[in-house]
Structure 1
């Protein structure tokens, strides 16, 4: 037997590294997102995007922006961005029975509409929704009253 790695061992090592790269990327990306804002789990459904189904993601509250990122994505750019002063909560509801199989059972849904009439629905835990709506309706530090 020759010294060094055999072809099978080399192939196994390459496959192991190839399998770990996406996992390391997703963990590193989540940590990078959390460095510059408050990040929490949040599913999104939008009539603009096709298909209009619930997508798992995270929201980052970054300055004046609400940025939504897909969880399983290579991109460092948000898929949906809304401005704090322009996104208006128009409705809030509990999950419908059909949605309970797709989302976390305790989630609540809030619908946000921008001035152009586009709307998205965000599903999140009730405690996160309370904090998110408070942040959305409050004025940022140093901006005075609305």
Structure 2
């Protein structure tokens, strides 16, 4: 076989793998959204450098927890999970500097406190309204002063 035939074979295999990855991402997104309650949600994994550390993702409400999935992976399980009773909303701000290029357009950055420390998330204003309603809909008997 000539070198150019090998090159064509390798190129074809690479294209098929890219196509399979793209189809896998679409199928995964549809499966995650099947039960509703999903929205665009970015999470700041590291706050060492100002404006950096953001990862795009999908949020999904699942009963008493908020699950966060990375957007460009085929892994079916959430990367992070926050329980409603352990989150408190601490405020919002507009993205600044490099954050504007890292996040979805028209998203705001919110700060939450959890038992494991501060959590920074970015979501649209409509999603923020739903998030606040979800937080306030804690079950009866919850300690509101915590």
TM-score normalised according to structure 2 size? 0.78
| 1:126 equivalent in alignment to 2:122 | no
Task: Identify unmatched segments of 5+ residues in structure 2.
Answer: none
Aligned pairs, number: 136
Residues 47 and 53 in structure 2, CA contact (< 8 A), matched pair in contact too: no
1:144 to 132, 140, 145: 140
Task: Identify unmatched segments of 5+ residues in structure 1.
Answer: 1-5
Q: CA deviation at 1:92?
A: 1.4
Report the aligned-residue RMSD.
Answer: 2.6
TM-score normalised according to structure 1 size? 0.78
Residues 47 and 120 in structure 1, CA contact (< 8 A), matched pair in contact too: no
Give the whole-Å Cα distance in 2 for the aligned partners of 1:98 and 1:18. Answer: 32
Q: Which residue of 1 aligns with 2:74?
A: 74
The 5-angstrom pairing of residues 24-39 of structure 1 reads 24-39=23-38
Q: 1:54 to 1:48 in 2, by over 3 A?
A: closer
Pick the structure with more helix per residue: 2
